[in-house]
Structure 1
Amino acid sequence: MKNLKKWKTLRSHMVLDHRWCKVRRDEIELPQGEIIDDFFVIIRPDIALILPVTSQKEIVFVRQYRHGVGEILLELPAGGFNPYEESGLAAAARELQEETGYIADNIISLAILYDNPVKDTNKIHLFLAENVHLSSEQELDITEDIEVVLIPLQDVVKKIALGEISVCGTITAILLGLNFLSQRTATNQYSKIPSLDNKDTPDTARKD
């Protein structure tokens, strides 16, 4: 294994310190000695993202406009949080209820991943929520206009392949969640969902 070395930070200062966006400029020294004085890092809050599954084996999605790319996208409920003030699980449950009105009987941690380690500081916390059910109205922020969309588990992999679901964090959570559910054979509750290691495809997977 190659002996990789970390970069050395010589100095840092904030070039933008806004409540919605923080950017830091670092002067760094590379392992070979070269100096780069304009490496920009975006300081972002951690993100909690949740894969909500109903008792009818449907996934609760949110459909909303994303101004960064100028597109209306199909995603899983998610939002930023401060890990020093709130747990990822609590944030995921809160975002689920606020964006969809659904609550969960059980929430399981799937993974904690780096969101974009090239430039961003944050992590994304992925969760699976089982037996979610509608409990209340949405509680949306002024910038949010969200349509709740229910999609059968059997259809989500095909929608990813067709490009209808195209957000990285959402796709990662779906694949991890499907794999988790397919491996849990004790109850056999989800034995017929598309698996990452079986021969079923979105078009041929059996349905109840």
Structure 2
Amino acid sequence: MASLDWKLLHSEYLYRDEWLTARKDRCITPAGKIVDPYYVLEYPGWVNALAIGEDGRAIMVRQYRQGFGQTLLEIPGGAMDPEDASPEVAVRRELLEETGHTFDNVVYLGETCPNAASSNNVMHMFLASGGKLVQEQQLDQNEEIEIVYLTLEEVKQLILNNGIKQSLHVTCVMYALLHMQQMKML
């Protein structure tokens, strides 16, 4: 198969901030077509997990999402920090900060692209189990997060009824349920 990869000719940063970096690229396709401008948003890697407590219930979070303009039910997770040694370290940190729980087992489920057309980062997905409440939440300044405990059957019904809107979280939950053999493949 012939390569479909574009060649980067020039890149210019338009905006740099802790939470958003935007650049404008000039590229050439294998067929020789110049693509200019092509905008790319740079973000750090993200992590999320379907978190299961010692009692077998999923530990979900509710929080307001300004981009969508609604309060959403989600799974815990967030951005990787530069000091995180690995995605697993990052997800364990996020789980502790957002839920106050530590987890006996953390299984890596893979990675997915949030939006490969315009963003450069990946989401690392995990299944965390054996969660124990060990502290109060340690939330970021702009976070207000409510913890919600659901049975796995309730989580499956949310997936089937489009009750989780965040597509990256749906993907992680699906991989986790498949890993746990809780959902039948069609």
TM norm. shorter chain > 0.5:
yes
TM range (shorter): over 0.9
Structure 1 unaligned spans of 5+: 183-193, 199-208
Match of 1:197 in 2: 185
Decide whether aligned partners of structure 1 residues 132 and 85 sit closer, same or farther in structure 2, where only a CA change above 3 A counts.
closer
Match of 1:127 in 2: 126
SS in 1 for 2:155: helix
Cα deviation per residue 1:22-47 (whole Å; 9 max; x = unaligned)? 01100011222221211000110000
Name the amino acid aligned to 1:63.
R
Provide the aligned length of Structure 1 versus Structure 2: 186
1:29 equivalent in alignment to 2:17: no
Q: Distance in 1 between matches of 2:183 and 2:36?
A: 47
Instruction: List, as ranges, runs of 4+ consecutive aligned residues in structure 1 with deviation greater than 4 Å.
Output: 82-85
Match of 2:169 in 1: 170
Deviates more, 1:172-181 or 1:146-155: 172-181
Deviation of 1:144 (Å): 0.3
Percent identity over the alignment is: 32
Match of 1:106 in 2: 105
Match of 1:8 in 2: 7
User: What TM-score comes out, normalization by structure 1 length?
Assistant: 0.84
Deviation of 1:156 (Å): 1.2
Deviation of 1:82 (Å): 4.5
Greater RCO (CA < 8 Å, at least 6 residues apart): 2
Q: Distance in 2 between matches of 1:153 and 1:112?
A: 22
Aligned runs of 1:1-208 on 2, under 5 Å?
2-82=1-81, 85-182=84-181, 194-197=182-185
- C-alpha contact (below 8 Å) 1:160/1:166 kept by paired residues: no
Give the aligned CA root-mean-square deviation in angstroms.
Answer: 1.6
Structure 2 unaligned spans of 5+: none
SS in 2 for 1:177: helix
Cα deviation per residue 1:114-140 (whole Å; 9 max; x = unaligned)? 221111111111111111121110001
Q: Distance in 2 between matches of 1:41 and 1:66?
A: 22
Cα deviation per residue 1:82-141 (whole Å; 9 max; x = unaligned)? 477521001001000100111101111111222211111111111111111211100011
